[in-house]
Amino acid sequence: MKEQKNTEKTSKNKIKGITLIALVVTIVVLLIISGVSINMLTGDNGVIIRATEAAFRTEMASIREQVDYRLIECQMRNKKITSIFKEKVTIEDAKKWDTELKVEVIYWGQYETGLTELTRKYVKKNWENILTKGDENTEYVDNLYYVDKKTAQEEHKYIYDSNVNIVYKVKPSKVGKYKVHSVEELDYQQKNGSDKRPTGGTEISCDSQIVSAGSSSSCYEPDLSGFIKEKTTIVYYNGTQEVEVGADQYLAKGSTSGRTTVVNNVTYEFYNYDAQKWANIKVKNSGIETWWVWIPRYAYKIDGTTTDIVFINLENKNAKTGADLEEGYIVHPAFDGGLKGIWVSKYEPSMVANTEVEEIPFYMPDMQGFDPQNTYIEIYNGEDGFTEKKLADIQDLTQFAKNNKWYDYHNKVWANIKVVNTQGTESKVDDIETWWVWIPRYAYSITGTNTSILFVDTADNPVTGESLPSNYVIHPAFDGGLRGIWVSKYEPSQKIGPRATTNNVNKPDMSGFDAENTYLEVYNGDGTFTDVKLSTIADLDAFIANNNWYDYSKQIWANIKVVNTQGTESTADDVETWWVWIPKYAYNITGIETTVIFLNADGTTKDGSTLPSNYVPHPAFNNGLDGIWASKFEPSEK
């Protein structure tokens, strides 16, 4: 009997054990099945998304069918499209659209812009100017009509573009990860992927706050608002060593923690204004690198030849203490309008080597007015020079430019053409050839003898969609709304480098500097300088002849250092300011290069030759100045 009970007990235990294992197995199987089921329902190619896509395509196909029927009816009765679609889309209506619809209408509508490439950011910013063709008085959008109630059973729900025969849905439809208004856009997104559409990136939005700028001062932190996150990097320094960190990583850490970064146990600083380390960032856009330095809001006081500055808040008080400024301090006018600081371009942007072909948007060469029979497109063949293609033999110039290396502004290959004047004879001996290069519309900023440029549209906005920095000026050659100009290459043999090749310049003017506190910086050839006090120099001309203070033919500019001793014996509180001598010069801008010719105080050339008509004396030297001393914000940068 006992044995029987034990057996029954054991059997029951075995049954329970088997049931538990079966339960676990069942749960696992159910989880696997449910996971597969959920993925089948909600995955990129899931049932729900496919059903949503099918519904959208069915809806648009139905409207498309009705529109086509109405268009056929219109053609058969020889009527205009306005007889069936009587309500045109107004500019005021378009202002209510979401960004996606504006982008789709511009991209697919084949609106004439003259640009070689349209970025999403540019369209987002300039859509109204594109749709109105720059006419502020335009009330309606060309070729855009509301599909009427008779066709769509509902008013103002669909839009028809008669130019490209596309129907748009005013309210967007969400199909998986895509938000679209037309079947054409959905097809494009699915085929190319949304990442293939030029978006311009994510614009940074932040609010600059007053932070510690070192051990003894505070200022407004670098304001990255308006920069594109994916194209901006933060530059950190440790002595002469530098590392770069993406803007997204800096923003994730926050401004306080982001002031420094540690790499291989070495600490690098983004900025330390007490130690004269200014905040630097690098922006890469369409293959061009530009460097920018942040100048926080400050007030200054000039004492003789020295300048003292104090970082301030928007109330023009000391940013660290909140105290009122001492008498004699002036708020720099660059910060008018309540600016917390400004970004200053450091030097000429450099083209970045890239394994991918990345096009810089600009206005295409305008071939109107050229005789197709006598004009030849010059195709660059690298070291072999150019091959020619007669303009008359080119049916589609835009497609031709894409398939041939007529120009490649990313690699500084500018569009060239040749015009042949046959002089009315059969012989080619007397033919006259003239060469021309296309300069697209641009704005420029001059820092010293360096020039940085940005291609702009006729509304004077950068064609990439960003805002034009305040220190950029539209070149006057493009006055009158010109998209670009053809420059004659009359003197192809004249080769002038982008910088001066002579050291014959106006001697630095040392009048007004305190000889006891001023030091001439003699270049040692290894990136270092030797200080020579001005008061120890008996003959400045002899000193210049015997020392490497400057050599403008080698881009070694005359530098001086002025030390303000602050009235104490200790050198710990001394304030140093650095200055560079810019001799009087005239400049000529061709493409993205600037050539300079040094001038005498009266505006004549140093060698006595006639100043070419395409050179302009820099306005900084008006009133007969021999040159100017420019303050160097970053004395640590050699």
Residue 186 DSSP code: H
Q: Are 460 and 473 in contact (CB under 8 A)?
A: no
3-state secondary structure 106-136: HHHCCCCCCECCCCHHHHHHHHHHHHHCCCC
CA distance 497 to 595: 6
pLDDT, residue 28, reads 63
Cα pseudo-dihedral 167, 172, 173, 175, rounded to 10: 100
Q: Are 224 and 247 in contact (CB under 8 A)?
A: yes
Closest CA to 217 of 145, 137, 313, 281: 313
457's tokens = 């549209």
Q: Distance between alpha carbon 426 and the CA centroid of its chain, in Å?
A: 51
Residue-wise pLDDT tens digits, 44-101: 555 677 788 888 888 888 888 888 888 877 777 777 887 788 889 898 988 888 888 8
pLDDT, residue 538, reads 92
pLDDT, residue 408, reads 74
Amino acid present at 383? E
Angle, alpha carbons 147-151-155 (nearest 5°): 50
3-state secondary structure 488-519: ECCCCCCCCCCCCCCCCCCCCCCCCCCCCCEE
Q: Are 564 and 558 in contact (CB under 8 A)?
A: no
Partners of 376 in the β-ladder? 390, 418
pLDDT, residue 285, reads 55
Sign of CA dihedral 540, 541, 546, 548: positive
CA distance 611 to 624: 17
Sequence spans of domains, the chain: 14-43, 48-196, 213-226+250-351, 375-488, 518-632
442's tokens = 């641009």
Burial class (CB in 10 A: 0-12, 13-18, 19+), 562: buried
Burial class (CB in 10 A: 0-12, 13-18, 19+), 328: exposed
Residues of the chain with pLDDT under 50: 1-3, 5, 7, 9-12, 14-16, 40, 42, 193-200, 286-287, 347-359, 423, 425, 427-430, 448-449, 490-501, 566, 570, 572-573, 591-592, 633-638
Residue 227 DSSP code: S
Burial class (CB in 10 A: 0-12, 13-18, 19+), 552: buried
12's tokens = 């029951």
pLDDT, residue 198, reads 40
Burial class (CB in 10 A: 0-12, 13-18, 19+), 375: buried
CA distance 48 to 611: 73
Q: Are 104 and 171 in contact (CB under 8 A)?
A: no
pLDDT, residue 499, reads 36
Kindly report the pTM of this predicted structure. Answer: 0.38
